[in-house]
Amino acid sequence: MGITIEAARRAAFPAVAELLARHLHDDPVYADFLGERPDRSDALRRFLRAYLRSTPPHRLVAEVAVDDDGTLLGAAVWERSGIGRDSAVVGQLPYALPFLRALGAVGTVRGLRVQGRLERFRPIEPHWYLMTSAGPEEVADALLRHRTARLDGDDVAAYVEAPDERMRALYERHGFVTGATILGLPTARPIAMFRSPGRAARRR
């Protein structure tokens, strides 16, 4: 099976959000900011759609993996961060409208509180943040290899929170270095991971 990585067109955002929501339904970090709610799957789908539509294009890269027939296999969403760690308020502005649209007022407060905690661990230097990704391991490898090669060419760092050991191992293969365990969330204990430019993927 051939895998092609390409930029997601805006018209494809609903399909990308649907794919991500299916894969992220049991993700512990997303479970924390969504909380216990009967419409969790729908709320996650609404949030992802609103996030993709609301984030300024110069800050967002959404890439998809498709097979030879054009079937959507996986996706990754990256967000650009400039110099300096964003303040608790400024850093969360891109998320405020998507949260409000998807989760309502009470859910937005919970979501922004979780997001604010995650923001404290973000690096202060310019970087691309892997906001979310989804797909089988082979597809995830292809997506990461494609984007990190571009980051190396641009000499830009990257950052991600690994929700579990399986994802931590995946990111390590692509040059991310394990950092602190992020404490203070309701239940999740994600791992902060940073990648300096030029750290090629390791062989398995």
pLDDT, one tens digit per residue, over 149-158 is: 999 999 999 9
Checking if the pLDDT of 25 tops 90, the result is: no
Q: In terms of Cα–Cα distance, which of 100, 56, 98, 50 is closest to 81?
A: 56
Q: What are phi and psi of 112, to 5 degrees?
A: -70, -30
Q: What are phi and psi of 133, to 5 degrees?
A: -155, 160
Residues 6-17: tens digit of each pLDDT: 999 999 999 999
pLDDT at residue 109 in the model: 83
Q: Which domains does the chain have, with CATH numbers?
A: 4-195 (3.40.630.30)
Q: Is the pTM of this model over 0.85?
A: yes
pLDDT at residue 113 in the model: 86
Lookup result for tokens 């895998």: 3
Residue type at 174 in one-letter notation: H
pLDDT at residue 47 in the model: 87
pLDDT at residue 89 in the model: 47
DSSP run (H or E) holding 130: strand 127-134
pLDDT at residue 29 in the model: 92
Q: What is the spatial distance between Cα 29 and Cα 78, in angstroms, rounded to a whole number?
A: 17
pLDDT at residue 1 in the model: 64
Q: What is the spatial distance between Cα 5 and Cα 143, in angstroms, rounded to a whole number?
A: 7
Checking if the pLDDT of 35 tops 60, the result is: yes
Instruction: Report the percentage of the chain scoring pLDDT > 70.
Output: 90
Checking if the pLDDT of 58 tops 80, the result is: yes
pLDDT at residue 180 in the model: 95
With contact defined as beta carbons under 8 Å apart, do 157 and 195 qualify? yes
Checking if the pLDDT of 159 tops 60, the result is: yes
180 or 204, greater pLDDT = 180
Residues 102-128: tens digit of each pLDDT: 778 888 788 888 888 898 899 988 999
Contacts of 99 (CB under 8 A, 6+ apart): 47, 107, 108, 111, 112
Alpha-carbon radius of gyration of the chain: 16
**127-134 vs 157-162, strand pairing mode:** parallel
Q: What are phi and psi of 80, to 5 degrees?
A: -85, 140
Question: How large is the average pLDDT for residues 46-55?
Answer: 87
Residues 65-115: tens digit of each pLDDT: 999 999 999 999 999 987 555 544 455 566 677 777 777 888 878 888 888
